[in-house]
Structure 1
Amino acid sequence: MGLENLLENLGKNSPDEINEAVRVLSKIADNILKDPKNSKIRTLQKSNATISKKILALKGGVDCLIMMGFKENATNFTMPSNTSLESVMEFREILVSWNNSILRSEVPASQAEKQAEMEIAPSAESVEEIIKPVALPPLVQTYSNPFLRRIEMYAHNVLQYEDKNLRGRCRKLIPVTLLEYNAQERLRSIQKLSKKDKLLDVDVSLQDMIILELLSWFKNYFFTWVDCMECKHCGGETAFSHMSTDPKLLVYTERIELHRCRSCHEFTPFPRYTDLNILLETRRGRCGEWANTFTLCCRAMNWDARFVVEENDHVWTEVYSITQKRWLHCDPCENICDTPLIYETGWNKNISYVIAYSAEEVQDVTWRYSSNHKEVLKRRKNCLEAELLDALLEIRDKKQKELSESRKEYLTKRMLMEVVEFLVENRK
């Protein structure tokens, strides 16, 4: 059973039952982590009253033990000595985080008011502990055209994904073992279907399945979408009012929205952070924060990933599939993969420019996201096409200046394959 189905089943129990089950499961995990060689701790008797009533009697309870690493026997559950302690710890963390999200959704209004006030933004003290600025080289802009200057800025900002400390911190937050487990289940299911239907295309790998799992985990368990803030004064509904110019608020970001309460008319700030160290703590925002953090997660998984900017106010991620030898569109806000035409055909967006950025490349990928290239060309008026091409080539050359010849050759071949892909209008 996959993690999503497990949590869905567990969520069918009462809040009190869930809370107590998570407490007991967490205690079991903690005991194993503290004394992993103790075989007694790794054995749970079915006749034990606590195990029987607080775990086995619940929907999804047995699956929790199995997901943690226990094997079911006639009279007990035992955890093999070779079970990964990392997987035990990761499952415990996900279970606790999931349970906390349920508890927060049921907090009484009086408590929610205090909680909202505390959670609007990290305190100055906590932010100072969180921020570990990524040392980027100074940005020297060479273009006067505003569009090309934006391209230069994005091409510079994505260098932060390569910071080893930042990627290491992000990696520790990702439940890699569980994602791999669920990905293997997905892959096995596809392989079984392919055996029944020999015409079924199964040109996918474990990496491709982990990408899907990472998207699902990111949207459902890690990041939170924010339209309007809950009023920090009365807990009421708010609506965006204006951008703050208060220097006391503009400390860790240059953009802070002020949302006005419909009831008490007081203002609640919503900081639009771009610092990834802060976003790994707050874990909320809109597409900018989502795509920024998700791209970091992909780099933390050691995948080639690009931050993608669509000129009409949306951003997402692309991840390179080693098996399929192509870039996969990944939108963490929508939890979708490889559906690039969704914006044009589903959202009715008038695509004009879509640029992808990484530490090694900057690429015009507009053609992947449109099925009507002639109409797109009519809308591209920010600069001459030759100017854009020259700028992209110049920025790319600068990025690849210090790379090895073998890496440059690989990137060039990959880029040429991508350009060939763009020659045919996308219809899927």
Structure 2
Amino acid sequence: MESSSDIVSTLVNENSKENFLSASDILIKFANNILNNPDEPKYRKIRIGNPAVQSKLLNSVGAMECLFLMGFEEAEDGEHLTLPNGKSLHPVRSIRDGLMQELAKLQTPQRHEQIQPGVRHNLSQNPSEGQRLSQLMASEIEFSGRIRDGMRRVLQYENPTIQEKARQTIPLESLQVEADKNLKSAQAKGESKQDIRDFLLLALLKWFKYTFFKWVDTLPCNRCGGATQHNGSVQPSSDDLRWGASRVEAHICRICQVNTRFPRYTNPEKLLDTRKGRCGEWADCFTLCCRALGFEARFIMDWTDHVWTEVYSNSRSRWLHCDPCENICDKPLLYESGWGKKLTYAIAVSKDEVQDVTWRYSAKHQELLSRRRLCREPWLRQTIHSIWKKQISTLPQQRQKELWIRLLCELTEFICIKTDDENLPGRSTGSLAWRQARGELGNSASTGTTPNSNNSNNNGFVFTPSARERESEIIHVRYNSADNKYLRKSSGDEELLGWDSCVYEQKNIFWKEEPDWKMVYLARCEGSNSAEITWKFDLTGTDLRIGKMELKAQTSVFENGNISWRICASDNCFMQSDASLQDSMTFDLKGSKTLTLTAVLRGGKGANAWQHTQLFRQSSGDKDCYPFDIKLMLN
């Protein structure tokens, strides 16, 4: 039998450099998976029909022989190769090390060009430095593999059948109505830089966050519906693997001790059905929805454990940062400035291209650069640009030209360092303990309060009477926590999604769902001492005034929590207790032109004090009850 060095030499000498690099990339990946996870059965089984095996190994002389020399055998089904348990892993390590040595030889000229002469002399005198560089090059191979995995991942979004399924799921007509309304409002204010597609994107983002997708810390118990906690991982089933869930979490019930399985799906088609997960699932499904509506979208892989989406805006001629978990658009400094993340690499991948976009997300380029230690910067630039050129080479000339222009504009954007002068929030998704452990509370970590957990783009909303409301002389607005939407009955039953879509001002408020109790409500952000939320009505510019107000605002308080209401009609303000508003109450506002209604939340005991003041608490299945109901009689 040939030795490992002989078969590696065959792979090097009998193939083109490109074929060798492709084959060695996947062989090293297979080997590392086995060596790092020797007891994991899934890494000991390779499907011969796997596209990577077909394109990278079968077409390269000596590649399949490398697998057989590692110890892989043909399975009885004829469709897989398997590495039996009990086989020595020494041949696996030997093949892996031999391939890495040959890769190092191929890259030696490039490395020498990048190393100063004095340092190059030290390499020959200092074997430990050579070992460090060898480790760095192994890291670069792994880095390159992750980029290529991401490029394969985004191809799922291009499946026409899956895109059609997404379009059938998205309430496009209502989103277009909302986008058109917001565009006209922006144009009336002289904000004309955005077009209807930008506003459609914002409507899609809000719908996805507040109506469609759900965040998962732990799942409720499948048996009794009780609260669960993390209990490690379990083996994925064949159906899990079919939908890309190679990792399955176990959530154990605190009451009946039964494990509930949480497969971490990476298939966007499956996510259209499950509609839940963490940032990976959110970004996968949201990017698919963007592509289904014809947006150019990129999946962003962050090396500090987060993912999100970028969408290209034709009106602005640039890429917009979109985080569906947070309902935040075009706030790229959110992670560094708001969450307090120490960014390293953020790589964008799409069906057409790949790009290092880290610089968009930082105002501290030198500090960021000092943390980038997984690969050499010249290597990363060359690798990404080489992949980028190969990707676009198959596109029509006009499209290639368009992407070249975009690239130049994007690189120019990266050179201009952003000003870090925004007061951006810390992370809102996930439990407080989880966010604290990740260090993503931002400034709240030192102040003990949680910043505003939602995009401030929706603040500043003012109710002004529509033509129908002026004619009927009534403004009637309701809010349902279960659907998380407002119903403006006096304006043709107009629906507005999201608790903050009609809010004038708010501080430390968020929408809370309790899966175990099946309840929803508005609450103070976790860790905050107080919170406020304000709705505003303005009749200025009309010949109408507010005569009377009927108000119902159902709330729940626990321990020593306290909710009070501040009502300001023109310049006259007074306070009202929450108890008096559990049922509808009428107020004489004496012909005021403006009205602001503010809920003030304070008090509570212990670590859960934030949860002891709840606005509009109701069952998550109650779609017909409106715990917040305000009606203004005009004259």
TM-score by length of 1: 0.64
Q: Which residue of the partner structure matches residue 85 of structure 1?
A: none
Contact 2:267 2:284 in 1 (8 A): no
Q: Which residue of the partner structure matches residue 22 of structure 1?
A: none
Aligned-partner SS, 1:330: strand
Aligned-partner SS, 1:355: strand
- Relative to structure 1, the CA distance from residue 405 to residue 136 in structure 2 (aligned partners, 3 Å threshold; closer, same or farther) is farther
Distance 1:368 1:232 in 2: 43
How far apart are residue 243 of structure 1 and its match?
Answer: 1.3
Compare CA radii of gyration and give the structure with the larger one: 2
Q: Which residue of the partner structure matches residue 261 of structure 1?
A: 253
Q: Which runs of 4+ in 1 moved over 3 A?
A: 135-144, 246-252
Q: Which runs of 5+ in 2 are unaligned?
A: 1-49, 58-102, 104-136, 423-635
AA aligned to 1:288 is G
AA aligned to 1:168 is E
- Relative to structure 1, the CA distance from residue 181 to residue 247 in structure 2 (aligned partners, 3 Å threshold; closer, same or farther) is closer
Structure 1 counterpart of 2:176, from 157, 170, 180: 180
Q: Which residue of the partner structure matches residue 290 of structure 1?
A: 282
Q: Which residue of the partner structure matches residue 94 of structure 1?
A: none
- Relative to structure 1, the CA distance from residue 262 to residue 358 in structure 2 (aligned partners, 3 Å threshold; closer, same or farther) is same
Where relative contact order (Cα < 8 A, 6+ residues apart) is larger, the structure is 1
Aligned-partner SS, 1:386: helix
2:340 is aligned with 1:348: yes
Deviates more, 1:246-255 or 1:344-353: 246-255
Count of residue pairs the alignment pairs up: 288
Q: Which residue of the partner structure matches residue 313 of structure 2?
A: 321
1:43-85: per-residue Cα shift (whole Å, max 9, x none)? xxxxxxxxxxxxxxxxxxxxxxxxxxxxxxxxxxxxxxxxxxx
- Relative to structure 1, the CA distance from residue 250 to residue 170 in structure 2 (aligned partners, 3 Å threshold; closer, same or farther) is closer
- Relative to structure 1, the CA distance from residue 207 to residue 139 in structure 2 (aligned partners, 3 Å threshold; closer, same or farther) is farther
Structure with the higher strand share, 1 or 2: 2
Deviates more, 1:243-252 or 1:223-232: 243-252
* Identical residues among aligned pairs (%): 44
Structure with the higher helix share, 1 or 2: 1
Q: Pairwise mapping of residues 403-422 of structure 1 onto structure 2 (< 5 A)?
A: 403-422=395-414
Contact 1:291 1:307 in 2 (8 A): yes
Structure 1 counterpart of 2:221, from 220, 231, 234: 231
How far apart are residue 315 of structure 1 and its match?
Answer: 0.5
How far apart are residue 401 of structure 1 and its match?
Answer: 2.5
Q: Which residue of the partner structure matches residue 144 of structure 2?
A: 148
How far apart are residue 400 of structure 1 and its match?
Answer: 1.5
- Relative to structure 1, the CA distance from residue 381 to residue 190 in structure 2 (aligned partners, 3 Å threshold; closer, same or farther) is same
AA aligned to 1:171 is R
Q: Which runs of 5+ in 1 are unaligned?
A: 1-134, 195-200
Aligned-partner SS, 2:270: helix
Q: Which residue of the partner structure matches residue 187 of structure 2?
A: 191
Distance 1:217 1:363 in 2: 28
Q: Pairwise mapping of residues 27-176 of structure 1 onto structure 2 (< 5 A)?
A: 140=56, 145-176=141-172
How far apart are residue 341 of structure 1 and its match?
Answer: 0.5
AA aligned to 2:156 is Q
Aligned-partner SS, 2:189: helix
How far apart are residue 184 of structure 1 and its match?
Answer: 0.7
How far apart are residue 230 of structure 1 and its match?
Answer: 0.4
- The CA RMSD measured in Å over matched residues stands at 2.0
How far apart are residue 248 of structure 1 and its match?
Answer: 6.4
Distance 1:363 1:316 in 2: 14
- Relative to structure 1, the CA distance from residue 426 to residue 247 in structure 2 (aligned partners, 3 Å threshold; closer, same or farther) is same
How far apart are residue 403 of structure 1 and its match?
Answer: 0.5
Q: Which residue of the partner structure matches residue 204 of structure 2?
A: 214
TM-score by length of 2: 0.44
Aligned-partner SS, 1:363: strand
How far apart are residue 234 of structure 1 and its match?
Answer: 2.0
1:304-359: per-residue Cα shift (whole Å, max 9, x none)? 10001111110000000000001000000000100111100111000110111100
1:129-156: per-residue Cα shift (whole Å, max 9, x none)? xxxxxx9776759995212210111012
2:262 is aligned with 1:270: yes
- Relative to structure 1, the CA distance from residue 245 to residue 303 in structure 2 (aligned partners, 3 Å threshold; closer, same or farther) is same
Structure 1 counterpart of 2:231, from 220, 241, 247: 241
Aligned-partner SS, 2:225: coil
Distance 2:383 2:163 in 1: 29
Distance 1:297 1:248 in 2: 27
2:307 is aligned with 1:311: no
How far apart are residue 398 of structure 1 and its match?
Answer: 2.5
Contact 1:136 1:159 in 2 (8 A): no
- Relative to structure 1, the CA distance from residue 140 to residue 411 in structure 2 (aligned partners, 3 Å threshold; closer, same or farther) is farther
Distance 2:296 2:237 in 1: 38
How far apart are residue 249 of structure 1 and its match?
Answer: 7.1
